[in-house]
Amino acid sequence: MKLPGKTVERLSEYRRTLFECLSENQSFIYSHDLAARLHIKAVQVRRDLMLIGYSSIPRKGYDVKELINTISEIIDSEETVNVAVIGVGHLGQAVASYFKGKRSKLNLIASFDTDPEKINKIISGVKCYPYSDAEKLIKELDIRIAILTVPPEFAREVTEEVVRFGIKGMLNFTTISLNVPEDVHLEEYDMITSMEKVAYFVKKNIE
């Protein structure tokens, strides 16, 4: 079963929230409580979980540990997927620091840059390799996912290259929209658009 992208996003958010519940010693949670934590409707939670074949326990809600395991079985790969950051500027370092070690099935094992001051150093917990070695190392280290944090003017060129090197999934943190082949999954995060959206609603709330 191939789930819609938005459903996968919400399942990831549910799992992250459920881990928070565990840390608060909460063993069960109702759909409306889970929905409230994520600012969505309870009917959406129930639809998503029914889609993956999971239902609540009457008068108790969802078993937090069991639901975490169910979501993990569906959205995680059976084998660990290796990830690399391309571009180790301030943003690349911040993303690497945030991402490193967050999920056992996603292993951030390398970063690439052209700056001689960064090459062969451990930055944000990850070794930085020369970008000129990217083709060789992406193959040798079996890197499947690239997190792109290069300057915008290099984004398209680097994307074309790493896809040719074997990358099958990309997270684009640059301000440039990218095109990739159909067999490569692309997620684009435009922080400027997100900030403008927030500013718009702030303006509306003040008016």
Write down the domain spans for the chain.
Answer: 5-73, 81-192
Task: Identify the pLDDT of residue 194.
Answer: 82
In the beta sheet, which residues pair with residue 83?
A: 108, 145
pTM of the model: 0.77
| DSSP string for residues in 118-177 | TTTSEETTEEEEEGGGHHHHHHHTTEEEEEE-S-HHHHHHHHHHHHHHT--EEEE-SSS-
* Cα gap 108→85, rounded to integer Å: 8
The answer to whether 156 and 150 are in contact (CB under 8 A) is: no
Domains 5-73 and 81-192 share a fold: no
Task: Identify the pLDDT of residue 207.
Answer: 66
Q: What architecture is the 5-73 domain classified under in CATH? A: Orthogonal Bundle (1.10)
Task: Identify the pLDDT of residue 39.
Answer: 93
- Name the helix (H) or strand (E) containing 113: strand 106-113
The pLDDT mean for the chain works out to: 91
Q: Which CATH superfamily is domain 81-192 in?
A: NAD(P)-binding Rossmann-like Domain (3.40.50.720)
51-87: pLDDT as tens digits:
998 888 888 899 999 999 999 888 887 788 999 999 9
High-pLDDT (> 70) share of the chain, %: 98
Ranges of the chain with pLDDT below 70: 1, 101, 207
The answer to whether 31 and 45 are in contact (CB under 8 A) is: yes
